[in-house]
Amino acid sequence: MKFGAHVSIRGALHLAVDRAVAIDCECLQIFVGSPRQWREVHYSEHDFDLFVAKRRDAGLDPLVAHTAYLINLASADPQLHARSTAALIYALRVMDRLGGKAAITHLGSRGTHPWPDALPRVAAALGVALEATDRAMILLEHSVGAGGQVGGTFEELRDVLHAVHDHPRVGVCLDSCHLFAAGWDLRTADGLATMLRDFNRTVGLERLHAFHLNDSQGALGSRLDRHANIGQGRIGRAGFATLVNHPRLRRLPGFIETPGFDHHGPDGRNLRLLKQLRAAGRPRRQRPRSGH
């Protein structure tokens, strides 16, 4: 697995590349505006060009965006639904301009509405966003599934993919913390294998394009979305050693969104830990026995 971090764009877009380089990222994730505001930031062509040139020189690949937290593609409120769709389109357009691979998005909440009512609204928003943009993928982020949150089960992710006719520009992003909080026991090789088997049966591993690598403050199945530094949460180092070295996940980028050992956000120390686990390879006991 390739490792990167969610880095800040504070000051200017291209400064995110400097921040990613400073902590030895191999790939990077950014917000394209303020994650808690609807306002779109209009970047200059100079800022875009500088970002593109710096990223090329640094060899950071892939680049992805995380959409604003306010987005609710399942909302029954027409204004909120329209704003959410527009915010998704904005993130995709910035990715298209910067040569980014995808915009990773939360799907939002259906509130008290049943899933069959909410699903067409999610699908409609995705359809409009795909029509309005050219290239970057939309990655649906698996959630902890608390309080009407959409995408907390693999079945819901599958339903959304089916509703957009398995569009080639729509895929999935899994988050280790969200998986654990949703009940998938990533502490053991068996637990990881069970999760991957179920995901493959329900969604298909070919649909998985990115991982968020966060340890979990919340207990297994707690549905608490609280990220911890790698090794400081309930998943622990052994769990991540298995995860980052799994043959089916090796081709994926993994982005940390950890609180940081100095509480300043995703940091070099979390990345170094992951790189150590990767260098050490798969935990011995899990190596398949040679058949001959």
Cβ(61)–Cβ(25) under 8 Å?
no
Tell me if residue 224 falls in helix, strand or coil. coil
- Binding to Zn ion (CB under 5 A) within 132-151 occurs at 141
What's CA 247's distance to the chain center, in Å?
A: 19
Window contacting Zn ion (CB under 5 A); options: 217-225, 247-255, 260-268, 276-284:
217-225
Residue among 90 and 189 whose Cβ is closer to Zn ion: 90
Residue among 141 and 159 whose Cβ is closer to Zn ion: 141
d(CA 112, CA 267): 38
Window contacting Zn ion (CB under 5 A); options: 87-95, 185-193, 218-226, 260-268:
218-226
State the residue number with the nearest CB to Zn ion. Answer: 225
Number of residues that bind Zn ion (CB under 5 A): 2
Give catalytic residue positions: 36, 66, 69, 106, 141, 175, 178, 212, 225, 227, 257
d(CA 64, CA 55): 12
d(CA 219, CA 177): 10
d(CA 91, CA 73): 14
d(CA 83, CA 122): 13
The mark string for 183-202 relative to Zn ion (x by CB under 5 A, - otherwise) is: --------------------
Report phi then psi at 145, rounded to 5: 75, 30
d(CA 181, CA 168): 29
Q: How far is the CB of 264 from Zn ion (least distance, A)?
A: 18
Cβ(60)–Cβ(4) under 8 Å?
yes
* CB-CB neighbours of 112 under 10 Å: 8
Residue among 67 and 245 whose Cβ is closer to Zn ion: 67
Q: How far is the CB of 181 from Zn ion (least distance, A)?
A: 8
Residue among 141 and 215 whose Cβ is closer to Zn ion: 141
Q: What is the 8-class DSSP label of residue 35?
A: T
Q: How far is the CB of 31 from Zn ion (least distance, A)?
A: 10
Q: Is 225 in the site for Zn ion (CB under 5 A)?
A: yes
Structure tokens at 146: 């608390």
Residue among 180 and 189 whose Cβ is closer to Zn ion: 180
Q: How far is the CB of 202 from Zn ion (least distance, A)?
A: 20
Binding site for Zn ion (CB under 5 A): 141, 225
